[in-house]
């Protein structure tokens, strides 16, 4: 398992590194043209698209991920994929037809701005094609076609960057150019991903297969809505108590914090299909625990470094109007990291206890609403970052505790907690002492990294990983 995981992780990491690297490279281009209010507008419309997509696809792609590996024949696999694909096409097509008649009023409801209905309509088209591309790209992952997935991902990212820069700087299209660039890139990426896995698709809609898939995925709909609430309700609360300008600052800080996924998403993308294929092997829990220790260590070191230098990074990548967003970055880094490692708690999914996911996510959503409402009303946009971080920690903790009851994994919790505390202490030392020198900041990061490494690393683990990569393990 680990040898295959390392190979696919590397491929996914390279494509993600290039994709997100280009995304970070684009920040100066965006912030030079777009105001914080523009960023807030884009963020709220994107969140609306994510929420609507959950209703339209009924989370059926998660059912594909679960049932596709267990299908006994190529014909059964094709029925699963094709039935899901054509259902998604039909549901999004009907929604877009409806939007054509109501988009002026709907844009006011969603954005509280009557002057941007045309942008809203193009945004709907953009998230439609983005979701179709996402489904097709995920299918490449479920089929373990990591290289083809990487090609599709990089192609999409390059096209987004190229078209967006053209629309912003050449045609001066503003916010509408951002969505138009995504629309074109997603359309091309969808065609490419479809071609790569064309043998998995046919004009087939099997009612029995659809019923089985939806029976699994339907309980995940409220769970996924709750997840989006956990991740994004802070923006709407910020907009309610403050303004779109603060939403934009928060969004830029979150984008910088998302850099943490550069070192996590490759493993994450490869891990889920690997777990579903190998979870019955007795050595799998130990392998997951080993991987998580070093994954967690790398995450904490990265979070510490980015947090300590967040102000410097804002100066490099943005304009003065965005500099104050640097103070939000540390909390958002922890939030992004802990919400992105839930697949290291696979027990609930392996046992197909999807109703439990609903209860957990709804509880976390309500907690996030309460904490954000309270903290934003007291501390403003900084309160939103703090509330979101606390909810992410609770989110991760609940999945670990409950998931381990179904599929125990021997994580070294005392050492992991100590590493988290060390990272937090290093960040707070710099912030509260107001270190300005680069060498002092670099020294703090180095010392914290050495201490954290000493807490988690073991020499025998390195030898074991070396044997696996060389072919000595499964």
Q: How many other C-beta atoms can be found within 10 angstroms of the C-beta atom of residue 390?
A: 18
Find out whether 384 and 234 touch, Cβ atoms under 8 Å: yes
Say whether both 153 and 251 belong to one domain: no
The pLDDT value given to residue 393:
95
Pick from 237, 228, 247: which is nearest to 369 by CA?
237
Give the residue from 217, 232, 264 where a domain finishes. 217
**Is the pLDDT higher at 395 or at 279?**
395
Give the residue from 217, 249, 273 where a domain finishes. 217
pLDDT band per the 50, 70, 90 thresholds, residue 431: confident
Q: What average pLDDT does range 277-285 have in this prediction?
A: 82
| Residue 42 located in a structural domain | no
Say whether both 148 and 224 belong to one domain: no
**Is the pLDDT higher at 117 or at 380?**
380
Say whether both 194 and 323 belong to one domain: no
Say whether both 126 and 182 belong to one domain: yes
pLDDT band per the 50, 70, 90 thresholds, residue 16: low
**Is the pLDDT higher at 303 or at 272?**
303
Identify the DSSP state of 168.
Answer: I
Q: What average pLDDT does range 124-142 have in this prediction?
A: 94
Q: What average pLDDT does range 368-387 have in this prediction?
A: 96
| Residue 279 located in a structural domain | yes
pLDDT at 460 over 60: yes
Say whether both 158 and 244 belong to one domain: no
* CA 170 to mean position of chain CA atoms: 31
pLDDT band per the 50, 70, 90 thresholds, residue 471: low
Task: Give the count of domains, the chain.
Answer: 2
Q: What average pLDDT does range 386-412 have in this prediction?
A: 92
Q: How many other C-beta atoms can be found within 10 angstroms of the C-beta atom of residue 457?
A: 13
| Residue 290 located in a structural domain | yes
Contact partners, residue 98, CB within 8 Å, separation at least 6: none
Q: What is the mean pLDDT of the chain?
A: 87
pLDDT at 138 over 80: yes
Q: What average pLDDT does range 381-390 have in this prediction?
A: 96
The pLDDT value given to residue 345:
84
The pLDDT value given to residue 474:
45
Say whether both 244 and 319 belong to one domain: yes
pLDDT digits (tens, 9 = 90+) for 154-199: 899 999 999 999 999 999 998 999 999 999 999 999 999 999 999 9
Q: What average pLDDT does range 7-29 have in this prediction?
A: 70
pLDDT digits (tens, 9 = 90+) for 327-359: 999 999 999 999 888 888 888 888 878 778 888
Contact partners, residue 25, CB within 8 Å, separation at least 6: 161
Say whether both 274 and 414 belong to one domain: yes
**Distance (Å, rounded) from C-alpha 183 to C-alpha 389?**
32
Find out whether 276 and 65 touch, Cβ atoms under 8 Å: yes
**Is the pLDDT higher at 437 or at 128?**
128
- Give the relative orientation of helices 146-165 and 2-33 as an angle to the nearest 10 degrees: 0
Say whether both 237 and 340 belong to one domain: yes
Say whether both 355 and 471 belong to one domain: yes
| Residue 147 located in a structural domain | yes
pLDDT digits (tens, 9 = 90+) for 95-128: 999 999 998 888 888 877 677 788 899 999 999 9
Q: What average pLDDT does range 193-214 have in this prediction?
A: 94
pLDDT at 247 over 70: yes
| Residue 47 located in a structural domain | no
**Neighbouring C-alpha atoms within 13 Å toward the C-beta of 7:** 14
Give the residue from 189, 217, 245 where a domain finishes. 217
Say whether both 293 and 346 belong to one domain: yes
Percent of the chain with pLDDT over 70: 90
Give the dihedral of Cα atoms 267, 295, 390, 350; nearest 10 deg: 50
In terms of residue numbers, what domain contains 275? 220-474
Say whether both 256 and 334 belong to one domain: yes
**Distance (Å, rounded) from C-alpha 273 to C-alpha 362?**
26
pLDDT band per the 50, 70, 90 thresholds, residue 261: confident
| Residue 457 located in a structural domain | yes
The pLDDT value given to residue 164:
93
| Residue 11 located in a structural domain | no
Say whether both 265 and 411 belong to one domain: yes
| Burial letters 107-126, b for 16+ CB under 10 A, else e | beebbeeeebeebbbbbbbb
pLDDT at 50 over 60: yes
| Residue 6 located in a structural domain | no
């Amino acid at each position: 398992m680990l040898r295959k995981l390392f190979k696919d992780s590397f491929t996914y990491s390279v494509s993600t590194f290039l994709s997100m690297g280009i995304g970070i490279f684009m920040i100066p281009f965006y912030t030079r043209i777009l105001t914080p209010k523009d960023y807030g507008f884009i963020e709220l419309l994107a969140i609306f698209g994510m929420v609507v997509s959950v209703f339209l696809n009924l989370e059926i792609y998660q059912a594909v991920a679960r049932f596709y590996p267990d299908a006994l024949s190529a014909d059964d696999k094709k029925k699963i994929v094709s039935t899901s694909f054509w259902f998604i096409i039909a549901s999004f097509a009907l929604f877009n037809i409806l939007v054509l008649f109501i988009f002026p009023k709907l844009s006011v409801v969603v954005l509280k701005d009557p002057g941007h209905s045309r942008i809203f309509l193009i945004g709907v088209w953009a998230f439609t094609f983005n979701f179709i591309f996402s489904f097709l790209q995920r299918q490449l992952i479920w089929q373990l076609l990591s290289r083809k997935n990487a090609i599709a991902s990089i192609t999409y990212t390059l096209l987004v960057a190229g078209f967006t820069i053209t629309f912003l700087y050449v045609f001066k299209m503003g916010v509408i150019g951002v969505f138009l660039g995504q629309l074109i890139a997603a359309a091309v990426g969808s065609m490419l991903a479809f071609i790569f896995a064309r043998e998995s698709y046919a004009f087939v809609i099997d009612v029995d297969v659809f019923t089985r898939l939806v029976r699994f995925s339907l309980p995940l709909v409220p769970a996924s809505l709750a997840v989006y609430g956990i991740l994004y309700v802070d923006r709407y609360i910020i907009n309610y108590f403050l303004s779109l300008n603060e939403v934009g600052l928060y969004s830029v800080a979150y984008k910088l914090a998302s850099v943490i996924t550069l070192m996590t998403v490759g493993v994450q993308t490869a891990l889920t299909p690997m777990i579903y294929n190998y979870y019955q092997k007795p050595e799998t829990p130990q392998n997951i625990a080993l991987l998580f220790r070093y994954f967690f260590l790398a995450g904490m070191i990265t979070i510490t470094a980015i947090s300590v230098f967040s102000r410097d990074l804002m100066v490099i990548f943005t304009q003065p109007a965005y500099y104050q967003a640097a103070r939000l970055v540390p909390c958002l880094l922890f939030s992004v990291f802990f919400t992105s490692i839930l697949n290291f708690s696979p027990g609930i999914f392996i046992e197909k206890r999807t109703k439990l996911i609903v209860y957990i996510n709804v509880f976390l959503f309500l907690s996030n609403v309460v904490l954000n409402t309270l903290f934003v009303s007291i501390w403003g946009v900084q309160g939103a970052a703090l509330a979101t971080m606390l909810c992410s920690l609770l989110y991760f903790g609940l999945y670990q505790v409950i998931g381990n009851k179904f599929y125990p994994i021997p994580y070294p919790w005392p050492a992991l907690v100590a590493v988290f505390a060390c990272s937090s202490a290093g960040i707070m030392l710099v912030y509260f002492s107001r270190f300005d020198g680069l060498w002092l900041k670099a020294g703090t990061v180095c010392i914290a990294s050495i201490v954290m490494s000493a807490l988690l690393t073991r020499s025998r683990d390195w030898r074991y990983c070396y044997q696996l990569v060389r072919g000595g393990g499964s």
